[in-house]
Amino acid sequence: MDSDPQPPDRPVDLTSDDPLAALQRWVADGQVDEAARARSRRRWLEKAATEEATLGGVFLDLAERGQPVIVRTLAGHRVTGPIIAVGADFVGVRDPRLGDTLMPTTRIATVQPAPGDDLPAGDRRHDVVLAFGDALMELAAERPDVMVGAGDENLRGELRTASTEVVTLAIADERREPISIALAAIDHVVVRSR
């Protein structure tokens, strides 16, 4: 932004009966015009930032704030809490009621910042490479108790294995039978214990 005063867009007659008043009007007109140009620049920059927004960029910005957010998935699962992880294709939210919840970004319907907090532009470059399947593979090494939302079901059990295409749980019942879930069908994974 240029700090030098700019002449007004309209010429001013400085030959009037009161040249000092005319000069003051001329300066005031210049300030009004400069303020209008500044508002126009600000709107243009905001528009450009909005057009460059990505969901990953929005999540990165919100994660840095550390404030609770509300994330809703396409299946209607709602999670409230601070963002604890932003991956290449997923986000993690720490919900004090449910636990740490991982959601693929392709399954996210809405994200809402804390009340009174502005939604960030989300125009930052998102260079994170850890993918959802990879995060679940790392988590499977700990064999945590999880709840997996897939389709219209919530399956609870021990996370046994994960790959880039399938996740295997040992269902939480007496028989502990295994079940395979297509990674692409997963709406969310709640880590209940580690």
Q: If you write DSSP's letter for every residue of 39-80 in order, what string do you get?
A: HHHHHHHHHHHHHT--HHHHHHHHHHHT--EEEEETT--EEE
Q: Structurally, what CATH architecture does the domain formed by 54-194 represent?
A: Roll (2.30)
pLDDT in tens, 54-91: 888 899 999 999 999 999 999 999 999 999 999 999 99
Per domain, the residue ranges of the chain are 16-51, 54-194
36 Cα distance to chain centroid: 31
Give residue 122's region: left, alpha or beta (phi > 0; psi -120 to 50): left
Full pLDDT tens readout for the chain, 194 residues: 556 666 656 665 656 677 677 777 777 777 777 777 767 666 666 655 556 678 888 999 999 999 999 999 999 999 999 999 999 999 999 999 999 999 999 999 999 998 888 878 787 777 788 999 999 999 999 999 999 999 899 999 999 999 999 999 999 887 889 999 999 999 999 999 87
